Structure 1
Amino acid sequence: MTLLVVGASGHLGGEVCRQAVAAGERVVGTYHSGGVDVPGVEAHRLDVTDRAAVRDLVARVRPDAVVSTPYRYAEWTVTADGAAHVAYATAEAGSRLVHLSSDALHAGRPEPYADDEPPSPIFPYGAAKAAAETAVRAIDPGAVLVRTSLIVGDERSKQIRLCLDALGGRAALFTDEIRCPVDVTDLAAAVLDLVDSRYAGPLNVAGPDPVSRAEMGRLVAARFGLDPGGLKTTTSASTGLVRPTEVRLDSSRAAALLPTRLRGIRELLAP
């Protein structure tokens, strides 16, 4: 199989590439800057906002499947338009598409969100992710849209670094912002499971443990043997930020459908 990973220089994209290469697949990965630091990957620079460039690369690579992971938090043209360009080129080539979405497209509430619930964004990034899903579903109804949450890994990952910074007094973690963190290796394996499946539409793929960012900071402290007393916390409400607070994803469908086990953050960060 030839797999094209759009956004291979990112945390998740790089892990998808590593696992696919280890499985013996031909892997082509794209980057916007910095290259792709995964041995065995055929790397190409790509600007996903350039529709013609996306179509040209997909036509040349002729992938059996495409995993689409690129985003920039504050850029609609990358997150929304870029996703549409990838979906269009993938559908044109007749390739399988796995599109990475986010829990950020929900408004937030105490009750868990099911897989098929429509987006209800309340801030620009969530709106961009919702627009991306709308475009992908319209262009390629057979695509799978993976709705995930905070992606964690080792101490090099963004979310773990944020926790370490808060433990060192260099950042603050919200006590009122709840998510369902997922390990990057679990998520990448699940994405590759979905490449080989016929599942279509949105699917929640996140960890089973809903935790606040502050609680995750305390788990990181225990994992690395650090003093949790130094953890700096605040509330999302007090900062004036407009973004969802409680977003719990019900990933029971993915747990039943996929061979990959999605581990909870408490298991992942056990000392």
Structure 2
Amino acid sequence: MNDFVKIVEVGARDGLQNEKSVIEFNQRLEFLNLLVRSGFKSIEVGSCVSPRWVPQMDNSTALYAALEKPEQVSFSLLVPNMKGLEAAIEAGCKEVAIFTAASESFAQKNINCSIQESFERFKPMFDVAKQHGIQVRGYVSCVVDCPYEGAIAPEKAARVAKQLFDLGCYEISLGETIGTASPVRVRKMLQHCLNVLPVDRVAGHFHDTYGMAIANISESLEQGLRIFDSSIAGLGGCPYAKGASGNVATEDLVYLLEQSGFQTGIDLSAMLKAGHYIASVLQRENQSHFVKAHTAKLLD
């Protein structure tokens, strides 16, 4: 068994972009530096999108430039189009992420184009990324359920994921976007995806709306996945799915993994400090079950 699990910390992008409040540049920078000190080796910094649409992500390229960037840490920016990619290149970014969906309705709502049109948009971006030595990570949203279409056929999720991989994505993150899936349905989806993708290039991205994220991650571990996205303090949610709660809390993921004998490379006390900091900035409760239990234990 490969006993190391890679955690991609997405709180600074996927988490903060769905918060109602816009936090200050220096607060985002401090949050990211705290994540680096926690031992994360893969961190999403922000996204190169118009502040008109996502004001929380304004100045993400300046944030990237200001970061302390240890060589062993991979920092990425989400780019929706060529303009975003060019901004990431100008900032010196060496990894970007692109995103599409396994649901036509969600693709139209989220990126304003069809799934096939998203691939056509990506093709020239891969050429430019390759010229600049930039790695591209791919996200597929709604791999199990869609807020508009309901259940998504597992073979459709696999087909979209394989197309992204064939285009040149080095890693594919499978997004259980609205948190409605159960382990049985996750297993079926993964079996289809792993028939066409190498398991070491597949990541799981789970939301915790129905409290199923940790169970779904456990099933994914059984299926061989060793890469997971998560968000400190359970930040985030899905703006296109009413009532959808945040990504699985990184603190809960780390607890599960380390209790199960896996290594994460995460410094627990530093991670807790990062979660406490961003929860304080946002003036909200940390959503992690582990943090709530740990805090209660300390107060006993």
- Same-fold call, TM cutoff 0.5: no
Question: Shorter-chain TM-score: which interval?
Answer: 0.3 to 0.5
**TM-score, reference length from structure 2:** 0.37
More helix by share: 2
**TM-score, reference length from structure 1:** 0.40
